A and B are shown apart, each in its own frame.
Chain A
Amino acid sequence: MTTAEPSPPEIQQPDTSATRCVELSLPAEPELLFLARMTAAAVASRAEFGFDQIEDLRLAIDELCITLAGEDGTEGRVHLVFEWEGDLLEVTAKLVAEHDHLTAAPPTGTDWPDADVNELSGRILDALVDEHGTDNVGGSPRAWFRVRRQPRDP
């Protein structure tokens, strides 16, 4: 009687594609948004973006997360995917439920609401990235942007 040999563990092949990808998942809480900014800066630096554009991307990722999770945060996690190839960087932020459903971000509760943050956020993204948008994938709200690396000053 022969016994089947256990199959060998799969060997992870190195990623030979030109696309690089970094993922970050964090609770959708305002106090943790700085982690998204730090990651955006690190990725943009790795993708050889210049200093000024790295600063722009720190702000763009911040606005992307606010678009998704609101000013007061919400339940669930923000799952960020940074992908870059050549001079193109694409960032996708998806709000993922931790439980059965997502709850919309509550209002700020102030009797004097702040100026329209959504409008300001939209203006900032319009100015800093090449394309941006929001959609819904499988019941999860998603926001994204694409930006091309600008040539550096000689």
Chain B
Amino acid sequence: MATDVNFEVSELESNGIPVLAVRGEVDVATAPQLRERLNAFAERGNVTIVVDLTDVSFVDSTALGVLVSAAKRLRKGGGDLKLVVTEPHIAKVLSITGLNEVFEVFATAGEAVSA
């Protein structure tokens, strides 16, 4: 699989909840890598995960599509997907697409994990 130097996903765990920390630009080229990581969680069933977008500088509609699909799949299995967003441009994209109403959005991963 091609890798993008400006994109990285690292997996952490906090209070037993997986946290995917994403870095870089999530676009049509890199979103499939995020989809793959999220699908792996969704296949485990009843899982709530936090996707930390603090270090993400760009998201487009394909990235949002991946997040929405993962959230739907996780919720169907009794889990959920929570977002951490601090970058104003990312928050703006969520707002103009109405997805700020679909996701629980937090300012820090700690808040998301303990909510």
Contact = CB atoms under 8 A, between A and B. Distances in A.
A120 B64 contact: yes
Contact of B60 (A31, A66, A127): A66
A113 B28 contact: no
Interface in B47-68: 58, 60-62, 64-66, 68
B96 interface: yes
A97 to B, nearest CB: 21
Contacts, number: 74
Contacts of A123: 96-98
B59 to A, nearest CB: 8
A34 B27 contact: yes
Given A114-B65, A115-B69, A34 B97 contact: no
Q: Give chain B's interface secondary structure class.
A: helix
Interface residues of A, number: 29
A121 B4 CA distance: 23
Contact of A124 (B4, B6, B29, B61): B61
**Which of B28, B66, B93: most chain A CB closer than 10 A?**
B28
A110 B93 contact: no
Contacts of B39: 112
A59 B60 CA distance: 7
A30 B61 contact: no
Interface size class of B (residues with CB under 8 A): 20 to 34
A124 B97 contact: yes
B2 interface: yes
Interface string B23-46: 001011100000100010000000
A132 interface: no
A116 interface: yes
A140 B10 CA distance: 41
Interface of B: 2, 4, 6, 25, 27-29, 35, 39, 58, 60-62, 64-66, 68-69, 72-73, 89, 93, 96-99
13 contacts: A31-B29, A34-B25, A59-B89, A59-B93, A63-B60, A63-B61, A66-B28, A66-B61, A73-B28, A112-B73, A114-B62, A116-B65, A117-B65
